[in-house]
Amino acid sequence: MSGKTARASALDMKWRVQGMIVDERIVTFINSLDTRNSDLLEAVEAEARAADVPIIRREMQSFLKVLLLMHKPGSILEVGTAVGFSALLMSEAVPGECHITTIENYGKRIPVARENFRRAEKEEQITLIEGDALEVMRKLDGPYDFIFMDAAKGQYIHYLPDAMRLLGEGGVLVSDNVMQDGDVIQSRFAVERRNRTIHARMREYLYELKHNEELTTSIIPLGDGVAVSVKKGKKV
């Protein structure tokens, strides 16, 4: 192995160990330019990190705000509430008349999310539905203008049929963490055996997003990878 190849391999391993798919120095610089969120959001984020609850990364937060300001959705569906940070972030980025429906199945996080919505006085704007996302989504009626997917990554491909049904024409589907810390680009044999099912499903999901005739999709190396899809209108 040449010295150049060895250095590239070592750098790739460094990023993978740190859960990075973009040079850490670039991410640090970009985030250093960011402004603070509201005091409540800053508090919720700090509490989540202290409790080891995963929330969207800083650079993804800014990107999500921009998407919402551009699209100006009247209705949002979030798959994966956690402690409510993303729902609160979205509620602050869109007008008050936009309603957010969010789904969470992990019992320990549900009361925390409800309390955070109460603290923010967003209980009227945000509806939290408890239960398995697959079962809940099948019972929902659309259309939604914007869907944010941030739940079990191995289930994204199973969520997609109902996401497509629920997403209105011209609607935006945002799928977070689609690069799996860089694992998705690896051969299945280079991935730990316990992660191979998720690896295969995520690859299938990304392929479907790019090849579904109803969608136009861009996969962006931001955070841990984000796919932004727009549902096309019917041809006249």
Buried/exposed 25-35: b ≥16 CB within 10 Å, e otherwise: eebeeeeeeee
Q: What does the pLDDT read at residue 235?
A: 59
Structure tokens at 118: 């109460």
Give the Cα separation of 26 and 5 in Å (integer).
22
Residue range(s) defining the domain that contains residue 68: 34-231
- This prediction has a pTM of 0.87
The domain that holds 100 is classified in CATH as 3.40.50.150
Residue 2: inside a domain = no
Q: What does the pLDDT read at residue 12?
A: 42
Residue 13: inside a domain = no
Residue 145: inside a domain = yes
Residue 26: inside a domain = no
Is residue 227 a contact partner of residue 220, using CB atoms and an 8 Å limit? Answer: yes
Q: How confident is residue 95, by pLDDT bands cut at 50, 70 and 90? A: confident
Q: Is 69 exposed, middle or buried (0-12, 13-18, 19+ CB in 10 A)?
A: exposed
Closest CA to 175 of 218, 129, 232, 233: 218
Contacts of 19 (CB under 8 A, 6+ apart): 181, 224
Question: Dihedrals φ, ψ of 210, to 5°?
Answer: -80, -25
Residue 171: inside a domain = yes
Q: How far is CA 30 from CA 35, 58, 175, 182, in A?
A: 11, 9, 21, 20
Higher per-residue pLDDT: 21 or 94: 94
Residue 11: inside a domain = no
% of the chain residues with pLDDT over 70: 86
Q: What does the pLDDT read at residue 20?
A: 58
Q: CA geometry: angle at 218 spanning 215 and 219, to 5°?
A: 125
Q: What does the pLDDT read at residue 24?
A: 85
Which residue shows structure tokens 């049929």? Answer: 161
* Whole-number average pLDDT of the chain: 88
Q: For the residues 33-43, what does the mean pLDDT come to?
A: 94
Strand partners, 209: none
% of the chain residues with pLDDT over 90: 72
Residue 64: inside a domain = yes
Q: What is the total count of domains within the chain? A: 1
Is residue 212 a contact partner of residue 175, using CB atoms and an 8 Å limit? Answer: no
Residue 27: inside a domain = no
Contacts of 22 (CB under 8 A, 6+ apart): 15, 221, 222
Higher per-residue pLDDT: 44 or 6: 44
pLDDT per position as a tens digit, 145-201: 999 999 999 999 999 999 999 999 999 999 999 987 767 767 766 667 767 777 889
